[in-house]
Amino acid sequence: MISVPRWLLLVLGAMFSTYHVVLGAYSLDIPNSPWPTVAALLLYSIATVLSLWPAQRLRMPDWLAAFDLAVCIVLPLLVTSQLDPEAENGYATWYVAAVGTLMTIAAARRQLTFAWIGVVALAVQSVVWAGPLSLGGLGVIGSIVWVAIAHMLTTALTNAARETRRYAQAEREAAAWQAAQDAHLFEGRMRLAQTNRIAAPMLRRIADRNGALTEAQRRECRMLEAAIRDEIRGRMLLTDVVRVEVQRARERGITVNLLDEGGIDDLDEAARDRVLSRLAEAVAGSNADRIIARTAAEGSPVAVTVVGLRDSGVESSGVDTDDLEVELWLEIPRAL
């Protein structure tokens, strides 16, 4: 996040504030009575210390901004009550720059409304006390300019911080997208290499024989086709042990369908190995005619559901689930 350096704000604020206090103390002999000025110096010092006190949040609390505004309204009333507006008061009008400094600090700490109210109140008091020409002679315009500069800088820094966060978020999203694309590309290449490893020998044999295969070879082709389908649809459900047990189940005449819908992608390696080991055991121990293993939806306590179906023996002209009996029903939990 882009912001005003805290140490620079503290040093500059402390220097200017101390300078105003020194000027006010140096000119105590000018007012008719020094005590209102002493009270104004005390209030200003308290407000400055509170405003510059190191805090975790850059934005000034509302109660402190209200206190600073009250001090900025009271300060001119206390000091000018003992001054002659027609006389040359010199440094006795230190309060004008003091109010500008305090309101500039408030503006730098994101309290722009209070800052503008403070300098506007100073301008109104000065016009009432010494006339419109006093705005330039007393330095009120300079205090307004300082608050305006603080306002512009604060707004610019806030906008820059917002844009920085937006660009950082966009960069993270782009990096995540690129990582996902790389992962998909890597997985695709891996699946392609696996498919080529499985299918290439049989494809060469088919080409050598011009498609004239024996029944055993045709059965082997169907087994290879099912294995390739597993690589595409099974994804995270496949390990070497699962592949072996699925292959053995198909050799026993069992139809096996592995369906990975992304429900176990977030499991760590140890949990996934435990789940898939239990899946391999279930496939190895089943005597069903058809086995379906499917990952559960994300957020479910179940990782994989395994269903084994057996033909009831009733002849049917079509596939009807009513003619199938459940031989195996297993829900493998995500956690022990």
With a cut of 50, which residues of the chain have pLDDT below it? 1-2, 315-319
70 Cα distance to chain centroid? 39
DSSP string, 65-111: HHHHHHHHHHHHHHHHTTS-TTS--GGGGHHHHHHHHHHHHHHHTT-
Size (the chain), residues: 336
Q: Model confidence over 112-153: pLDDT tens digits?
A: 999 999 999 999 999 999 888 888 888 899 889 999 998 898
**Considering only CA atoms, which of 54, 67, 68, 69 is closest in space to residue 5?**
54
Q: What is the pTM of this model?
A: 0.54
Q: Tokens representing 153? A: 């800088």
pLDDT for position 2: 46
Instruction: Identify whether the C-beta of residue 88 lies closer than 8 Å to the C-beta of residue 138.
Output: no
pLDDT score of 78:
93
Q: Could you list the beta-strand ranges (E) of the chain.
A: 255-259, 290-295, 302-311, 324-333
Query: Given this model, what pLDDT does residue 89 score?
Result: 85
SS3 75: helix
Q: What was the pLDDT predicted at 125?
A: 92
pLDDT for 177 equals: 87
Distance CA 38, CA 323 (A): 101
Per-residue confidence (pLDDT) for residue 53, from 0 to 100: 83
Predicted local confidence at residue 1, as pLDDT? 45
Q: What is the pLDDT of residue 4?
A: 53
SS3 assignment, position 58: coil
* pLDDT for residue 322: 56
